[in-house]
Chain A
């Protein structure tokens, strides 16, 4: 059962990722990304990361994607050419991506981590639950938690400043 769900979710995730890159219309790219994100949430569930899966669906597939859809609708369906006009980039980009994949695969397969070929460590009860994650945030990772909240505040203020209309000069 677990194996079937894994391969199904993996196939969906890769298909969604390929859709993002191969669609000409940015709107379809965003929709492919939603499929990809939901497949990833399934994989998080298989990894016993329940809170992470819930956050993925609510924050990513919910809030962030709505933002994307709004901006695509505002800017308009700008279809950009899928075939790169610059010949050297067209040839080199897939080569670079393939080289990166080979490199990462070699690193993973040749890894010295013995536990990588197992199902993972024995889990305590409540692994991945919101209470366990929240406790980590408020004890071990308190500084990171506070820094990230300030980062979010800065991002919100920055977005308002960036997207604001220029105030008319003659209004005093």
Chain B
């Protein structure tokens, strides 16, 4: 398969994830949609690593994976803390920091 097909697929998945982040309201689902976007980036990085024949892209994708894991841990910790404090599970209602 040509590399361009992988890139088109990655763009498609990224846009599905972006649409999810924009439309969904539950913070949990927004985190999952962020995962989709990060994974689309990983696919593009792996495709470019294949294109150039070097490992740099793959190493970069692994680092993105680790950063995503850290992001998930903190995000889910925040969601659990929100649930404990009886806060609404809706990003539109959490506007206390709005100026």
Contact = CB atoms under 8 A, between A and B. Distances in A.
A133 B62 contact: yes
Interface string A1-42: 011001000100110011011000010011001001100100
Interface in A60-116: 60, 63-64, 67-68, 71-72, 74-75, 78, 80-81, 84, 86, 89-90, 92-94, 96-98, 100-101, 104-105, 108-109, 113, 115-116
B24 A104 contact: no
Contacts of A93: 19, 22-23
A123 interface: yes
Interface residues of B, number: 68
Q: Is the interface of A mostly helix, strand, loop or mixed?
A: helix
Interface of A: 2-3, 6, 10, 13-14, 17-18, 20-21, 26, 29-30, 33, 36-37, 40, 43-44, 46-49, 51-52, 55-56, 59-60, 63-64, 67-68, 71-72, 74-75, 78, 80-81, 84, 86, 89-90, 92-94, 96-98, 100-101, 104-105, 108-109, 113, 115-124, 127-128, 132-133, 136-137, 140-141, 144, 148, 151-152, 154-156, 158-159, 161-163, 165
